[in-house]
Amino acid sequence: MTVDALPVPGPLLEARSVGRSYGRTPALREASLSVTAGEILAIMGPSGSGKSTLLHCLAGIFTPDAGEVRFDGRRLDTLSDARRSELRRTAFGFVFQFGQLVPELTVADNVALPLLLGRAGRRRAYRRADDWLERLELDGLRGRRTGELSGGQAQRVAIARALVTRPKVVFADEPTGALDSLTGEKVMELLVGLARQEGTTVIVVTHDARVAACADREVIVRDGRVTDPYASGVLR
């Protein structure tokens, strides 16, 4: 088979004409986008534009009112709640603006938690957690409670937790929004660098152009609609 004849892989994650409303207020209007495996995509837009709603639909947290979401070639939006929850434990990882770590648990507990919820053995789960804490230079903090951490440390723990299951996709919703600019840049460099090492797709919602600059591509959400500046020729 010649190189030209090689099959072109389809998108890993795709939204097709997705609509979503809160009561009578539309948040998404025929929003469409596709993301390939290993791509780092930034979703930008002003507050209230629908970008976080789009991320939640792509992650199977919300189900759209119209359109469809496909993951790995299969419909995601028509799966049962239990199956979508399972995907969020195994195939997806999450990093949120304030980390959303469990304050009653230690750093090591928080990182091991997704594996334990997936019924991994306790020894294996904590060994994997320790490996990730070491990679993120957090191994000296494994026994601390999350309330004792700085903002940057907490987000690095959140990155370790997101990647510990070796997910196919990491969803990051304003991951640097609660950090100063220097710490935010370091957190994004870590997230992007580790994702590239692991071959993980990253979808990051942000309003910060410096965060978006870390991505391979960016799309813009305005009034619930998605536009791709590169596809439309705006940034060529």
Supply angle C-alpha 62, 64, 68, rounded to 5: 120
State both tokens at 44: 């930008």
- CATH for the stretch 10-227: 3.40.50.300
User: Could you give the strand order of the β-sheet that contains 74-75, starting from the edge strand earlier in sequence?
Assistant: 25-35, 13-22, 66-71, 74-75
Distance CA 108, CA 106 (A): 5
| Contact indicator for 217, 42 with CB cutoff of 8 Å | yes
Distance CA 42, CA 212 (A): 5
Given this model, what pLDDT does residue 98 score? Answer: 74
State both tokens at 92: 């997806």
Q: Which residues in the chain show pLDDT less than 70?
A: 1-9, 99, 230-236
Given this model, what pLDDT does residue 119 score? Answer: 85
Given this model, what pLDDT does residue 231 score? Answer: 57
Distance CA 117, CA 147 (A): 22
Ordered DSSP codes for 70-138: EETTEESTTS-HHHHHHHHHHTEEEEETTTT--TTSBHHHHHHHHHHHTT--HHHHHHHHHHHHHHTT-
Tell me the HSE value of 129 on the side-chain side, using a 13 A CA sphere. 25
Distance CA 122, CA 48 (A): 41
Query: In sequence order, what are the residues at sequence separation of 6 or more whose Cβ sits closer than 8 angstroms to the Cβ of residue 198?
Result: 163, 166
Given this model, what pLDDT does residue 139 score? Answer: 87
Given this model, what pLDDT does residue 4 score? Answer: 43
Query: Tokens 């090591």 correspond to what residue?
Result: 108
State both tokens at 189: 């460099």
